[in-house]
Each structure stands twice: as C-alpha cells, then as structure tokens.
Amino acid sequence: MAKDVTRRLLLSSAAALVVAPAMAQDRGAQDRGAVTFVRDFYAREIARHAANEGSSVPDLLAVFTADAQRLWRAAQANRNNANEPLGPILHVFFGRGALPGREIRLDAVTASGAGAVSVALSIQGHPRQLAVRTVREGGAWKISDIDYGGGESFVAYFRRRAGR
C-alpha cells in the first residue's frame, strides 16, 4: 500500500512538473493577448475621442461581454427612472471627466493578473488608473468590466442605473 501511494505521489509530482510550465506559458500568452487587445482598443478610442467622433450603439457594445451588454441595455431602458445625481459625466471607457475636447493620453498598458489589464492614462494632464477586466467570449477578447478607480466600475454604475 505504501509503495502504491509513493508511486502515485511520484508520478503525479512528475506530471505536475511537466504541466506547470505549459500552464504558465499559456497564462503568459493570454496576458499578452489581453494587453494587446486593451492597448489597441484604447489607442483607437483615444484617437476617436481626439477627433470628436462618436460611435454607434452596436460599435460601443461590440467590445463588451454579452452580460455587460445586457446590463447596459437595462440601464438605458431605465434611464428616465434612474435618480442620477448631478455631477461629472461618466465616459464609458475613460471614467469621469473625459469630456469632449479634453486631451487624453495613453501612458501604459500592463497585465495585472486574473484577467485584468492595468491602463494608465492622463486626462488634461491628470493621471488616471483603470483596471480593465477581460475574458475570451466567442473566440474574441471582450471587456467584462472597467474599474474607473474610487470604487466605481462599469458594472456597478450601470447596475445602479438599471435599478438592480
């Protein structure tokens, strides 16, 4: 019995040593994919913002997961009922204070673990740190949430707007 346990332990340890580096490589490749997706996306959105170009609802939502899209639509359906306090307008991708005509600069985009990508940007010279949560959905990278800092995120904001 002890021989069987030792043999199983030895075989499972050897298998773990072989599989662990492959899993780490896969995680590294996923992190690079997520960072590339977010960097490219934010570069395009900043250029769109600088050119004062809007985007259609399908274009806006295409980058989000199906759950985030449903939440956004529920908030839009409830927008006349939401008791939203007056204050800075929330830009869906950049957070509060990203008004038209304000300079937005992308400073750094790095992996921050657990499917999150850290985005450092500046709005009118004021630094802002975002945490963009990404997932693979339907074979493509999608955004599941954006943490704007200060305890507010895309999901929390639109959940509140939807009355949930």
pLDDT, tens digit (0-9, with 9 covering 90-100), for 124-150: 999 999 999 999 999 999 999 999 988
Q: Mean pLDDT over all residues of the chain? A: 83
**Is 24 part of any domain?**
no
Residues in the chain: 164
Q: How many domains does the chain have?
A: 1
Domain CATH code at residue 72: 3.10.450
**Is 2 part of any domain?**
no
**Is 127 part of any domain?**
yes
Strand 90-91 and strand 95-96: the pairing is antiparallel
Amino acid residing at 68 = A
Dihedral in degrees, nearest 10, Cα atoms 100, 105, 109, 115: -10
**Is 47 part of any domain?**
yes
What per-residue confidence (pLDDT) applies to 16? 45
**Is 76 part of any domain?**
yes
pTM score, two decimals?
0.78
Domain holding 99, by residue range, is 33-162
User: Mean pLDDT, consecutive 10-residue segments, the chain of 164 residues?
Assistant: 56 46 52 93 95 90 96 86 64 90 95 92 95 95 94 89 80
**Is 11 part of any domain?**
no
**Is 90 part of any domain?**
yes
